Every structure is written in C-alpha cells, then in structure tokens.
Structure 1
Amino acid sequence: MPLTNPWLAEPMPAGRLPRERLEERILNLLSAQNMCVLATTGPGGPLATPVRYYSLGFTVMFTAAPRSPKVRNLEADPRVSIGIFAPLTGLASSRGAQVFGEARVLPPDHAERERYWEAFRWENEHAERGRPLTEPPRDTLIVVAAARIVYTEHWLRREGFAARQFWRAQQ
C-alpha cells in the first residue's frame, strides 16, 4: 500500500532546528491561534482551563476574573503549563506547543499593564460584552513569559528534523 507521507514512517529524524528557525515557527503558531489550555495547580489538584489568549513575542496573556479558580490557583502557585495547538487533520498537520513559565497576575492598577494592552486586542472583547470602545480595559490581566517551550511539528520530519523541538529563554 502506498504511503501518503512516507517521511512519517520510521526511523524518526533527530535533527535540531537552528534557534532562529525554531523561534520563527513558534511565533507563527502563537500568532495564528487564539485559544489555549491553561494548566494550573491548586488545593483541589490540577485545573485545565480553555482561555482565549493573545501573544507578544514569547509572552502569552489573557484576562481573568479576580475570584476565578484559575486566579486563586495562580496566586498560590504561579507555575503553569499552556497548551497551544493548530487544528489537526492528520499526523502530518500535527503542530503545537507546550509553554512553561510563571504567571503574573496584573490587577487593573498595575504599572506594567500598559505595555501589554497594545498587543491585547481588547476591543474585540469590549464589543462582545457591550462595553464602549472609548474606555480602556480594567480587567485583571494574566501574563506568562515563556521560560521554555516544547514545540511539536511533524512536518519538520520532511526536512530531517525531529518533530519535537526544545526552546529555552535566553538569560
């Protein structure tokens, strides 16, 4: 039987993408999607929450109600894992990232919020909620700067690279 994508067969390549190419692919994924699954840990155990996000470089951000379970968990333990993925139509299209970092909860009066709002398309959410577009957001903002990312893209195997690639923030 002929294979549609023979490059998906074993053996799996082990090549590593150059950092610049890996970063370009990660940024493309972060920019092309708008939903993620946020994993936190709290007194009741793990919590995985789908959230709409925006990105600024390797930083993922979203709003949250101050008394939500995810914010309570983040205040107790800021370590998070965020899963972001493109729609899957088959193994060849498998593309996603696990983003690891520490979440920062920025309340409405926090001085650093302004630099993130430029990249946050808050107008969409204001329109959905019937809020005036002339009033800036007052929502609690959660910001996660990626410390490391595990990026998976099976299409990379076509070029002799491993499907799973690893990125770490430069210090």
Structure 2
Amino acid sequence: MVTTNPWLAGPSPTRRLDRERLEERILNLLSSQNMCVLATVGPDGPLATPVRYFHLDFAIVFTAAGTSPKMRNIRADPRLSIGVFAPLVGQASSRGAQLFGTARILEPGDGDFDRYWPVVRWQSDHVERSRPLDEPPTGTIGVLEADRIVYTEHWLRREGYAPRQFWSR
C-alpha cells in the first residue's frame, strides 16, 4: 500500500513551537481566510453562526446588525468562541484555530471603535449594493481580542512538532 504522508502515521509528536513561530502561523491563517464560525450561547442554547471576519493582530472583528441573535447573545453572555479554518483536502492540510475570549460590541463613538473600524472592508459590500463609497456605513461591530488560541496544523508533524499548539495572551 502506498502511503502519501508517512509522517502522519504513528503517535503525534509533543514538541511545542516557540512563541514567535506559533504567532506567525496563527496570523498567516487569520490573514488567509475571511470566514469563521462564531459560537454564542443564548436562551435557546448554543448558536454557531458563520460570519465574515477581519482581524487586527489577534483580534477578530465582525459586523452584524445590533439586533441580530448573535449580538443579542453576546450582550447577555460575552464569552465567545470563534473557529477559523482553511479548506480541508486531507489530514495533511488540516489547519485551523479556535479563539476564546470575551467579546465587545462597539458602536460608532465608543472608545475603541475607531481602533478596529479601519480593518473592516465595507467598500465591497457597498459596490455590490450600488451604494456610494463616500458614505461609509454606521453600525455595530463585534470584537474578540483572543485570550487564548488553540491552533491545529497537521503539517507541523513533518517537522516533529505537535499538531495542536496553544497560545495565550
């Protein structure tokens, strides 16, 4: 039998990446994807919502109507988990991150709104909807500054590193 990726066989290595290399890999993932699954808890139980995101370092920024179920849930319980993943072709390509922290909902005029708003690429939405580009939208943004991240990349096994790595602020 031909084995495509023999380095995937056997027990996983346990060696940890140094912080700088781990951060580089996490930021590469966050920069190369634009969709995540945002998990909240509401009165009817868990809610996992696919959303487009933007990032500023290890902060995930997303837009949503202030009255949406996810925003309602965040207002009631701001603990948040976000999953970001690359397309999966096979186990060798398995790459993703789970980010955990306490979310904030920011409105225009809030202290940190102007810090995060510039990463939101609203212009493409305006073009799709035939809206003028000289009239930026005004609305809420959600921000999760990750307190901890579980990063998974099976390709790391090739170099003798554990496929699951852990980052904390």
Global fold match (TM > 0.5) = yes
Match of 2:144 in 1: 144
Shift of 1:10: 0.7
In structure 2, distance between residues paired with 1:80 and 1:90: 28
Letter in 2 for 1:32: S
Match of 1:48 in 2: 48
Q: Are residues 1:101 and 2:101 paired?
A: yes
User: Residue 133 of structure 2 aligns to a residue in which SS?
Assistant: coil
TM-score by length of 2: 0.97
Match of 2:84 in 1: 84
Q: Are residues 1:62 and 2:62 paired?
A: yes
In structure 1, distance between residues paired with 2:11 and 2:67: 49
Match of 1:125 in 2: 125
Q: CA RMSD in A?
A: 1.0
Q: Deviations over 1:123-144 (max 9, x none)?
A: 1222223321111220211011
**What's the % identity of the aligned pairs?**
67
Q: Are residues 1:156 and 2:156 paired?
A: yes
In structure 2, distance between residues paired with 1:32 and 1:60: 13
Structure 2 unaligned regions, length at least 5: none
Shift of 1:62: 0.6
Structure 1 unaligned regions, length at least 5: none
TM-score by length of 1: 0.96
User: Residue 118 of structure 1 aligns to a residue in which SS?
Assistant: helix
Shift of 1:112: 1.8
Letter in 1 for 2:156: L
